[in-house]
Amino acid sequence: MSREFRHITRIVETDLDGNLKVAHALARIRGIGINMAHAIVEKGGVKPNTRIGFLPEQDLEKLEDIVKNPTKYDLPQWLFNRQKDLETGKYLHLTGSDLVLQTKNDIDLMKATKSWKGYRHSYGLKVRGQRTKTTGRKGKAIGVRKKRVSK
């Protein structure tokens, strides 16, 4: 293990704080949750209590390869954030800007097909069946205003 400490470590186009433990640092990457991070650490053969700033370059490269290609390392498919992709039919795990772009494309597809979720997205309403009578009133009149009493 290298004794050289890096305060900022870069993995998958994301700057990570070197003081964090490996799994918690990986969970800071967009698209990786804490469960996925623990699975990556286990497959990478890294001690979970190690600070990410102390990891040698070869371990960082291995972790980055696992993050980019989780199917190659036999991670369970239920951890992936893109199961049975519409275009390819494969199980994918997207991170960073790829995840943001794909989410935007999915919402645009829903709007184009005029699905119910697409309609709700286009009108700026709640999409997942939440209550709208009392919540989500941004930009509209809220409540009743009291009259000013003049003396």
CATH number of the CATH domain containing 24: 1.10.8.50
Q: How many domains does the chain have?
A: 2
Beta strands at 14-17 and 8-11: parallel, antiparallel or unpaired: antiparallel
pLDDT for 7 equals 92
CB atoms within 10 A of CB 130: 9
Q: What is the pLDDT of residues 2-14, one digit of tens each?
A: 478 989 999 988 9
Flag whether 87 is in a domain: no
Please check whether residues 19 and 73 belong to one and the same domain: yes
- Residue 110, domain extent: 96-126
List the chain pLDDT tens, one digit each, 151 residues: 447 898 999 998 899 999 999 999 999 999 999 999 999 999 999 998 999 999 999 999 999 999 999 999 999 999 999 888 888 899 999 999 999 999 999 999 999 999 999 999 998 889 999 998 888 777 656 666 677 877 7
> Cα separation of 127 and 120, whole Å?
6
> Cα separation of 94 and 32, whole Å?
9
φ/ψ of 109, rounded to 5, equals -65, -40
Please check whether residues 74 and 100 belong to one and the same domain: no
Torsion of CA 142, 144, 145, 147, to 10 degrees: 170
Please check whether residues 18 and 58 belong to one and the same domain: yes
Please check whether residues 59 and 120 belong to one and the same domain: no
Residue type (1 letter), 105: N
pLDDT for 140 equals 59
pLDDT for 86 equals 84
DSSP line for 90-140: S-B---THHHHHHHHHHHHHHHHTT-HHHHHHHTT--SSS---SSS--TTS
Please check whether residues 17 and 73 belong to one and the same domain: yes
pLDDT for 2 equals 46
